[in-house]
Amino acid sequence: MTVSPNDRPAMLVTGGAKRIGAAIARAFGAAGWHVVIHYGRSRKQAEALVAQLPSAEIVACDLDDWDQGPAMVEELARRLPDWRVLINCAGVFDIDTAQDLDPATFMPAMRVNAATPARLGQAFLAHARANGGRRLIHITDQKLLNPNPDFFSYTMSKHALAATVPMLSMARTDARDRVYGIAPGAILASHDQSEAEAEVSHRMNLLHRRATAQDVAGAALFLAGGWLASGETLYVDSGQHLTAQPRDVLFLARHGDAA
């Protein structure tokens, strides 16, 4: 493991120590990138992952703080000579409902899942140096097109984040830059879900196939090439967004309801 990015293009993934973020970090590392892994409270996991990658480093930041995120981006921009990709993957996923909006759930969701990624993206597009243009990628959710009343604050926050994709794209000052979204479906066990429940719920899609974290990582690598027009969102969900699901699949599977 090295920490010198001088001979590699660099990327930062927030929430990169675990789950989908870790899969993205591994994929970019294997593809020859210098990987910057952001973590909040998962330092041990971040250190273990960085030791497995050819060129990587870790950075800590509280994404629930209004100023720490942009400061982190500006510091990285000063020292990374070719920082091409920022992937906003970190998020909070706590339950509340459409019948009872919980302020203690709502405010962190809107800050961590929407406001901070938008501010990170603004700072990245303003300060990062990159050969051939920069790529800002937000990880959103298939709930954008297939909403249900569960996880109310989380879903609102992902809709807010998704709204920044076309707006930030339109505000670009460099035509080589791209702003994208990736909208995953149900991929990893979440909330209080068991793996057995996840195996059922995550196949509630048109293909009856469980999408994987590696699928999301592959989509991120594709978007890093800038092949799509800026402002686009890729759905990585085996067609889940094309179904009509009245509740989150966690509950559909748990209560034996049809999706």
Question: What is the predicted pLDDT for the residue at 253?
Answer: 87
**pLDDT tens sequence across 115-148:** 999 999 999 999 999 999 999 999 999 999 999 9
**Cα–Cα dist 155/61, whole Å:** 23
**Token pair 């937000």 is at which residue?**
138
Q: What is the pLDDT of residue 196?
A: 86
pLDDT at site 197: 86
pLDDT higher than threshold 60 for residue 45: yes
Model confidence pLDDT, tens digit, residues 226-244: 999 999 999 999 999 999 9
Per-residue pLDDT band for 101 (boundaries 50, 70, 90) equals confident
The answer, yes or no, to whether residue 155 has pLDDT greater than 90, is yes
**Cα–chain center distance at 92:** 11
Question: 112-125: buried (b, 16+ CB within 10 Å) or exposed (e) per residue?
Answer: bbbbbbbbbbbbbb
Q: Which domains does the chain have, with CATH numbers?
A: 10-254 (3.40.50.720)
Instruction: State the pLDDT at residue 5.
Output: 65
The candidate with the shortest Cα–Cα distance to 183, out of 119, 138, 148, is 138
- Do residues 216 and 21 lie in contact, with contact meaning Cβ atoms separated by under 8 Å? no
Alpha-helical segments (H) within the chain: 19-30, 43-50, 68-79, 103-110, 116-127, 152-170, 195-201, 213-224, 249-254
* 1 pLDDT above the threshold of 70: no
